[in-house]
Amino acid sequence: MNGHAGNITRRGKISWRVKFEAGERDPTTGKRRTRFVTVRGTKKDAQRELIRLLAEVDNGTAVDPSRTTIAEYLRGWFDNDNQLSPKTLERYRQLAEQQIIPHLGATLLQKLRPMQVNDWHTVLLKAGGKDGKPLSARTVGHAHRVLHRGFERALSLEVVARNPAGAVPPPKPDATEIEILSADQIAVVMSRLSDHPLYPVAALALGSGMRRGELCGLSWGALDLDFGTIRVERSLEETARGLRFKPPKTRHGYRTISLAATTIEVLRAHRRQQLEYRLLLGLGRPGSDDLVFTLPDGTLWPPDKLSRDWGNAVRDRGLPRVMFHALRHSHASALIAANVDIVTVSRRLGHGSPEITLRVYAHLFNKTDAAAAQAIEAALRPRT
C-alpha cells in the first residue's frame, strides 16, 4: 500500500471509525491530510472499507471531499447504496435528477448553506415542475427529504460538518392536497363499481386503509374471514427491474387489522367468484399462498396497473376524480370522524408513530363529518 497509514477504532456496538491518510498534502503544512470515515457493521466490514479506501489512494482515484459537488455525491450514493429498497432508490434518483441536481447540483457538498436550501424551496414552489409549472409543497417536501437524508449520510461519513437541510424545514403541504371521499362519494363509488373487477379491492382499501402494494401482495393465508382479521406482512413492489414481494419497512408495518362485517362479506363473495373462475381454468382451489387480488389470468396485479385500472374506471364510470390512494385516506378520515383514538388509527394504517398520523391528518381532527364512518358500512352492505 505504498506506506499509507490507516487504523480502525470502535465507536459503538456496530460502528467503527476508519482513519487513513488521504494522499493529498495540506498546502500549508505539507503533511498528508487525514480523513475519517464511519462504517456501520462488523470489524471485518470496517477492515474491508479501509483496504478499499487505501487502494483508492494508491490508485489515485480517491476524491477530495472538499471538491465533491452535490450532483457527484448524490449519484455516487445511489450507485453504491445497498440499504435502500429498489423502489425507494428509484424514487430518490428521480427526485434528485428532476428537483435537486438542476438547481443545487453544481454546488460543492461542503459549501451548501441553509439560505440556499430555503431559496431552492422557493424556486421549486414557483416553477420547479414540468415546463416551469409550480410544484406542490408535498413534492418539494419529498425532494427535501432526499437532500436531508443524503447530508445525514455525509455527516455520518464525516465528509461534512453539519446538515444544512436540517436547519430549514420543508414547506408544509396544504390540507387540500390530501384527497378524501365524502360520505356521499363513498356510496357513489361503491354503487357504480358493484359489477366491476375493482369492487372487492376498492372495498378492502376503504375497509382496511391498506396501501396499494399491500393489497396487491395480499395472500389468502393472511386472511381469517371467520375471525374477521387480516395480517399485513408484505407488499408487492414495482420497479424498473420488475416486481418483487418485500416485507414492511418497519416493525409498525406488520399489523393485524380487524374488518367490518360488510367487508368480510365482500371478500367471501370474491373468494367464491375466484374459485369458480379457477375451476374453469383447471387451477383448483386457491391455496394459502395464492393472492387475493390478481389479473384475470391469475398473474400478479402490478400496483401501477392497479392505479391505471382505477383511473380508467374513474373515467368510464363517472367516479369522483381521485387517485386510488384516496381510499386509504378516506378510511383514516372515517376513523377520525368516528372519534377512534389516534393510536388505534396509527396502528391500522401502519404508521411508525401517532405523530406521523397527526401530521398527515391534523386538519381532519377539527371536522365533524359524523356520517363518514357509517358511510363505508352502508356503501359496502350487500343490497337485497
Q: What is the fold, at CATH topology level, of the domain defined by 177-380?
A: hpI Integrase; Chain A (1.10.443)
Asked if residues 284 and 220 have their Cβ atoms less than 8 Å apart, the reply is: no
Q: What is the fold, at CATH topology level, of the domain defined by 84-173?
A: DNA polymerase; domain 1 (1.10.150)
pLDDT, residue 139, reads 93
For residue 23, the SS3 value is strand
Amino acid at residue number 145? R
Reported pTM: 0.66
pLDDT, residue 357, reads 87
Among 105, 21, 9, 19, which residue's Cα sits nearest to residue 62? 21
Burial status of residue 296 (CB atoms within 10 A of its CB: 0-12, 13-18, 19 or more): exposed
pLDDT, residue 157, reads 77
According to the 3-state scheme, what is the secondary structure of 132-190?
Answer: HCCCCHHHHHHHHHHHHHHHHHHHHCCCCCCCHHHHCCCCCCCHHHCCCCCHHHHHHHH
For residue 345, the SS3 value is helix
**Where does the chain hold its CATH 1.10.443.10 domain(s)?**
177-380
What is each CA distance from 306 to 198, 266, 286, in whole angstroms?
9, 19, 21
**Where does the chain hold its CATH 1.10.150.130 domain(s)?**
84-173
Q: Which residue is associated with the grid cell 431552492?
A: 120
| Full pLDDT tens readout for the chain, 384 residues | 445 578 898 888 888 888 877 665 543 344 566 777 778 888 888 888 888 878 877 766 555 566 789 999 999 899 888 788 888 899 999 999 999 999 999 999 989 999 999 999 999 999 988 888 999 998 999 999 999 999 998 888 777 878 999 999 999 876 556 788 988 899 999 999 999 999 999 999 999 999 999 999 999 999 999 999 999 999 999 887 889 999 998 899 999 999 999 999 999 999 999 998 888 877 778 888 999 999 988 899 999 999 999 999 999 999 999 999 999 999 998 898 888 888 999 999 999 888 888 878 877 765 544 445 555 666 666 655
